[in-house]
């Protein structure tokens, strides 16, 4: 596991947010619970203390797209 992360249960089971503190605050939301791959659901520059709902929604939609693939 990364050294600075948190689970994002609102996105889906097994989804995590990695926190990157280089030239600002960056976040990468990913899921690695599927046997075939690690999926990066969303990456963004964080400008405020709270994660925007739009960023969570993007990751949630992409997570659902992965689950629906055969």
Find the helix or strand (DSSP H, E) in which 64 lies.
helix 53-68
**Per-residue model confidence (pLDDT) at position 49:** 86
Domain that holds residue 24: 5-68
pLDDT, the chain, mean: 88
When pLDDT is averaged across residues 3-10 and rounded to a whole number, the result is 87
Rounded Cα distance, 69 and 52, in Å: 27
HSE-CB of 37 using CA atoms within 13 angstroms: 8
Arithmetic mean of pLDDT, 50-55: 92
Local structure of 22: helix, strand or coil: coil
Is a pLDDT exceeding 70 seen at residue 1? no
Look up the pTM and report it: 0.84
Q: Provide the pLDDT for residue 70.
A: 61
Split into its structural domains, the chain has a count of 1
C-alpha dihedral sign at 31, 27, 12, 40: negative
């Amino acid at each position: 596991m990364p050294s600075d992360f948190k689970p994002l249960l609102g996105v889906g089971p097994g989804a995590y947010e990695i926190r990157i503190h280089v030239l600002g605050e960056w976040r990468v939301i990913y899921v690695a619970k599927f046997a075939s791959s690690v999926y990066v659901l969303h990456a963004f520059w964080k400008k405020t203390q709270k994660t925007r709902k739009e960023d969570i929604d993007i990751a949630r939609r992409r997570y659902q797209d992965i689950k629906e693939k055969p």
